[in-house]
Structure 1
Amino acid sequence: MRVALIPMKVEAGNFEANWKEFERRFEEALEHSPDIMVFPEYCLTGFDEWDFSGAKLYDEIVDRVSALAKENSVYVILGLLEPYKRCVYNSALLFNREGEVILKHRKFQEPMKFCTGNTVRTARTEFGKVAIIICGDLYNKRILKWIKRKKPDYIFIPMDRSPWGDFNLEEEIKCMGGRIKLLEVKTFIVNSYAHWDSFGGAWVFDENGNLLAQSTGDNILIFDYFFKPCCLERNAAQT
């Protein structure tokens, strides 16, 4: 299983610019023949507090990404704003190789003006059982309980994280690893880049919370899991 984690540059409120960047990074990642591409949280619209207008693009985003996934026979994960009745979810989708949406996650850890999710679902792939959570969900107690119940083989986390307070990236990574150790699931994380002051980067952790690979800024992280009957080999490359 080859995963491409893509810390895409995101411009709040500029869908066409973001789509061009998405296509450019998609093509860049394709050069490495990934099985799964992972893009950040609301990567095609960005988000400006409390501007939910990007949710109107939900159907168009689904159609465009579906076509790319099908055309290139690749799984795609990305975050987007999802309209629902009179509110909006911060959501993430998994498209399969046929361009079908096979998994949706609605973020739990959100301020009051968003609708919030209340369940974690999984999807079966040829690589095992997959779950998605979003950014601050990693630290949510209910998410921990759901992950323990669902027992996915992998978790993918689209993120939009900016530095605030006494921010220290090394400590941030250590905190992520500590939380993943509690989840006991192999985890892939990708952050947006230059969306306001988000710092980009991507990280891969094993089920014990050990950091296996990382990239910085807008560098794509390519990570391989090689399956054998009795063991699991790992390899990583940064581009």
Structure 2
Amino acid sequence: MRVALVPMGVEVGNFEANWREFERRFSEAMDHGPDFVAFPEYCLTGFAEWDFSGAELYGEIVERVSGLARKAGVYIVFGLLEPYKNCVYNSALLIGRNGEVLLKHRKFQEPMRFCTGNTVKTARTEFGKVAIIICGDLYNKRIAKWIRRKRPDFIFVPMEYSPDYGEPSEEDIAAMAERVRLLGAKTFVVNSHPPGGAWFFDSDGKLLASSEGKEILVVEV
């Protein structure tokens, strides 16, 4: 199983620019022959409080990303805003090799004005069971309960670690590692740029590989 984690640059509110960047980085990732390509949290629209207009593009985004997955024959993990009745979820999808939506996760750890998720699901692949959680979910106690119950083999974590916080520090990485240890599954984390970065942790929380900035992290498991 080969995974490419893509710390993509995101322009808030500029879907077409983000789509061009998504396609460019996807093509770059494909040079590594991955089975999975993973992108950050709401990577095609960005998000500025409290502008939920990016959710209107949900259907078009799913259609475009599904087309890429189908054409390349790979799995794609990415985050997006999902409209639902009178509110919006911060969601992430796993798209299968044939372009179908295999898995959807709705973020638990989200402030007021968002809908919030309340469960974790898994999808079976030829490599094992996959789960997705989003950014702050990594630190949510209810998430840990669901993950231990579902027992995935791999977890993907699309993230938007705010550039206002500066570069992720050693303490930040250690906190991620501790949470991964509690979840007990191999975990792939990919952040938007800036500040970027990607990390791969073993199920015991040991950091096995990382990248900085916009560098794609390619991992074989």
Quick check: TM above 0.5? Answer: yes
Q: Does 1:34 align with 2:34?
A: yes
The 1:4/1:166 distance shift into structure 2, 3 A limit, reads closer
Q: Identify the residue that residue 106 of structure 1 maps to in structure 2.
A: 106
Assess, with a 3 A threshold, how the Cα gap between structure 1 residues 28 and 167 changes in structure 2: closer, same or farther: closer
Shift of 1:162: 1.6
Partner of 2:218: 222
1:210 and 2:194 matched = no
Q: 1:208 to 1:125 in 2, by over 3 A?
A: same
**CA-CA distance at 1:163 after TM superposition:** 5.0
**Runs (5+) with no aligned partner, structure 2:** none
Amino acid at match of 1:158: P
Output the CA distance in 2 between the equivalents of 1:139 and 1:174: 12
The aligned counterpart of 1:189 is 189
1:74 aligned onto 2:74:
yes
Q: Which amino acid aligns with 2:82?
A: E
Partner secondary structure for residue 208 of structure 2: strand
Pairwise mapping of residues 42-81 of structure 1 onto structure 2 (< 5 A)? 42-81=42-81
- Name the CA distance, whole Å, in 1 between partners of 2:165 and 2:129: 36
Give the match for residue 197 of structure 2: 201
Paired residue secondary structure (2:123)? strand
The one-letter code sitting in structure 1 at the alignment partner of 2:52 is F
Deviations 1:122-150 (A, max 9, x none): 00000000000000000000000000100
Give the letter for the 1:209 counterpart.
G
RMSD: 1.1
User: Deviation digits for residues 209-239 of structure 1, max 9, x if unmatched?
Assistant: 00000000010000001xxxxxxxxxxxxxx
Instruction: Summarize the Cα distance change of 1:150–1:8 in structure 2 as closer, same or farther, 3 Å threshold.
Output: same
Identity percentage of aligned residues: 69
Moved more, 50-59 or 157-166: 157-166
**Offset, 1:165:** 6.3
* Whole-angstrom distance in 2 between the partners of 1:71 and 1:168: 35
* In 2, Cα distance between equivalents of 1:69 and 1:59: 15
* Equivalent residue letter for 2:91: S
TM-score, normalization by structure 1: 0.91
Match of 1:94 in 2: 94
In the alignment, the residues of structure 1 paired with residue 118 and residue 92 of structure 2 have an alpha-carbon distance, to the nearest angstrom, of: 14
Shift, 1:192, TM fit? 0.2
Amino acid at match of 1:15: F
The CA distance in 1 between the partners of 2:31 and 2:173, in whole Å, is: 28
Q: Deviations over 1:28-85 (max 9, x none)?
A: 0000010000000000000011000000000000000000000000000000000000
Structure 1 residue 189: Cα displacement: 0.2
1:69-113 per-residue CA deviation (whole Å, 9 max, x = no partner) reads 000000000000000000000000000000000000000000011
- Distance change >3 Å, CA 167–CA 219, structure 1 → 2: closer
Q: SS at 1:182's partner residue?
A: helix
Aligned length: 221
Displacement after TM superposition at 1:169 (Å): 1.1
Equivalent AA in structure 2 for residue 213 of structure 1 = A
User: Paired residue for 1:233?
Assistant: none
User: Residue 156 of structure 1 aligns to a residue in which SS?
Assistant: strand
